[in-house]
Amino acid sequence: MKFGPLPLAECDSAILAHTVKMASDTFKKGRVLNAEDVEKLRAAGFSHAMAAKLEDGDMHEDPAANALAEACVGTGARAAAAFTGRANLISEVHGVVLAEPDRVNAVNSVDEALTIATVPHYSIVRPRQMVATIKVIPFSAPKAAVEGAVRRAKAHGMPLVSVIPFFDKPVGLIQTWAESTKESVLDKTTQTIKDRLASFRSHLKREIRVPHNTQSVSGALMTLLDDHCHPILIIGASAIVDRRDVIPAAIVHAGGVIERFGMPVDPGNLMLLAYHNDTAVVGAPGCARSPKTNGFDWVLARLCCEIPIGRADIQAMGAGGLLTDIVARPFPRSAEDEHDDAPAAANIAAVILAGGKSSRAGGVNKLLATLGGKPLIAHVADAMLATTARPVVVVTGHQEEAVRNALGARNVHFVHNPNYADGLSTSLRTGIAKLAEIAPDADGALVALGDMPRVKAKQIDKILSAFAPHEGRSICVPTFGGKRGNPVLWSKEFFAAMMAVAGDTGGRHLIGEHADAVCDVAMDDDAIFVDVDTPEALAAIGAVATR
């Protein structure tokens, strides 16, 4: 890759390294310059531009990031489309992340241009949380390096990053009591365990309370085994202090095998892991009575995900195992408590404007014209539903019932705009108002036109990936050949302004008024321009109109 102050004669297809402001225009960092851009720079008095130019053997940052992301992503996660050389891996389930440090380090050692950062191995995450990010540092990476990193990411026949979901495990609990034990303490412990299990999507199937002696504990264990509880938790009136203590002795008496006593995690040191055939039996440390995070959580989470855990796994928990300074969680633990600080992907909703009169379409409703046997509005809805944008709101107006019928049982929310004849802005306002009702926590809204059937899910994904208000990308607009099209993604900060638009122009003027917040997202084709307003336009795309 050539990089530096390149003469303008060499800048066609070069990537601008820094934002350039001119009297009449602004070219942002990362813009791929074309001949028209070069002439604007020359007219503005520039003779050179600080830019990068790819050479043979180079791979542009976005394809490179996409290739590595697809190689890294496993079950329970998805790879978001790359933008500015960054591709994020997002959890699709509530579960535990597998991201072995040695394998992450192996990928990062291939070339300094290629990086992957993950949440810690065995982190607990929820849907939409980011679990890893791939970043190509410069504007390109050597193709050979990308191929090498991909090979390492796929080593051992398994992806580098996966999220294993929690299963609904029927858990058994044994609590032992001594003469001084208060019933209220046992009751409180039961509730804490129930809350803890609920946060792992499991449930307490049965609890047995017995005196703190080997015979009683052994009998209770056999009862829970016969009742098909798994795993089984034992919380003693007195902490386990030796492999020959009451609880481990009871497990052995019942036919179990001690796997490991003690763990290098604090709180949680005095934990015991055993197995009775395939059923895990956990002698819980005293801190299991508390809702605070402790080593018991680490073991229980893996068991609820059916991730194998044994002696070596526990002894490997020491690095990062000092939990004393973790901020206490509120009591009692809620099933909705987060277990990890991994950032969440933006929560983007979608609005499809489908209320127009089709006044230029020759007496037909263009949205009901068929392409490949499917109504145009259905093409748009299916593309949107193939992305993560949720909820999807469809604004109806003209021929409301027919448009609803065209979308059948698709997972969309309808809202009718009775003022559709007054212009596009009325449908936009109706759609944003509906989002405020059903998705008040949405970070942004992707606004699409119902008559653009050639826009595909992968193009929408690229727009979604570009969204980053904290980096100045609050309005994301698709472009082709330097020209802007649809759909447009708007941050929630513009919702109030969108509710004030009027006429038949939508929110296009807001793009000009907030140029510093706009991010142009380059596309590979002109689908972002192809709407079908006329009979000629319908015929051009091969659509069949019905009256």
Give the tens place of pLDDT for each residue, 313-340.
999 999 999 986 544 333 334 444 444 4
Average pLDDT over residues 128-147: 97
180 occurs within a structural domain: yes
Domain total for the chain?
A: 4
333 occurs within a structural domain: no
Sequence-distant (≥ 6) Cβ neighbours of residue 39 within 8 angstroms: none
Under the banding of pLDDT at 50, 70 and 90, the label for residue 545 is: confident
Is residue 116 helix, strand or coil?
Answer: strand
| pLDDT higher than 50, residue 358 | yes
| pLDDT higher than 50, residue 252 | yes
Phi, psi dihedral angles at 95 (to 5 degrees):
-175, -155
Query: CATH number of the domain that 520 lies in?
Result: 3.90.550.10
Of the residues 17, 38, 53, the one at which a domain ends = 53
Digit-coded pLDDT (tens) for 189-228: 999 999 999 999 999 999 999 999 999 999 999 999 999 9
Average pLDDT over residues 521-543: 86
Burial of 180 (0-12, 13-18, 19+ CB in 10 A): exposed
pTM for this model (two decimals): 0.85
Digit-coded pLDDT (tens) for 415-456: 999 999 998 999 999 999 999 999 999 999 999 999 999 999
332 occurs within a structural domain: no
Q: In whole angstroms, how far apart are CA 429 and each of 215, 383, 387, 494?
A: 71, 23, 23, 12
* 145 within 8 A of 66, measured Cβ to Cβ: no
Predicted pLDDT at 365: 84
What is the span of the domain harbouring residue 479? 348-540
Digit-coded pLDDT (tens) for 33-68: 999 999 999 999 999 999 999 999 999 999 999 999
Which candidate, 239, 229, 231, 181, places its Cα nearest to that of 209? 181
| pLDDT higher than 80, residue 361 | no
Predicted pLDDT at 504: 76
| Paired tokens of 352 | 């499809």
Dump strand ranges (E) for 143-298. Answer: 162-165, 170-177, 203-211, 232-235, 257-261, 272-276, 279-283
The number of angstroms, rounded, from the C-alpha of 180 to the middle of its chain's C-alpha atoms is 49
Q: In whole angstroms, how far apart are CA 217 and each of 140, 248, 261, 405, 409?
A: 63, 10, 18, 63, 54
Same domain, 107 and 220: no
* 80 within 8 A of 88, measured Cβ to Cβ: yes
| pLDDT higher than 90, residue 531 | no
The percent of residues above 90 in pLDDT, for the chain, comes to 84
471 occurs within a structural domain: yes
Distance CA 122, CA 102 (A): 14
* 475 within 8 A of 511, measured Cβ to Cβ: yes
330 occurs within a structural domain: no
* 172 within 8 A of 91, measured Cβ to Cβ: no
Same domain, 366 and 447: yes
Same domain, 20 and 73: no
Q: In whole angstroms, how far apart are CA 385 and each of 45, 276, 435, 515?
A: 47, 46, 16, 29
Predicted pLDDT at 362: 54
Same domain, 96 and 45: no
Predicted pLDDT at 24: 83
| pLDDT higher than 50, residue 150 | yes
Q: In whole angstroms, how far apart are CA 245 and each of 239, 250, 252?
A: 9, 9, 11
Same domain, 459 and 360: yes
Quickly count: other Cβ atoms within 10 Å of residue 257's Cβ: 11
Of the residues 267, 299, 315, the one at which a domain ends = 315
343 occurs within a structural domain: no
Same domain, 494 and 361: yes
Same domain, 407 and 475: yes
Digit-coded pLDDT (tens) for 375-416: 999 999 999 999 999 999 999 999 999 999 999 999 999 999
Same domain, 528 and 414: yes
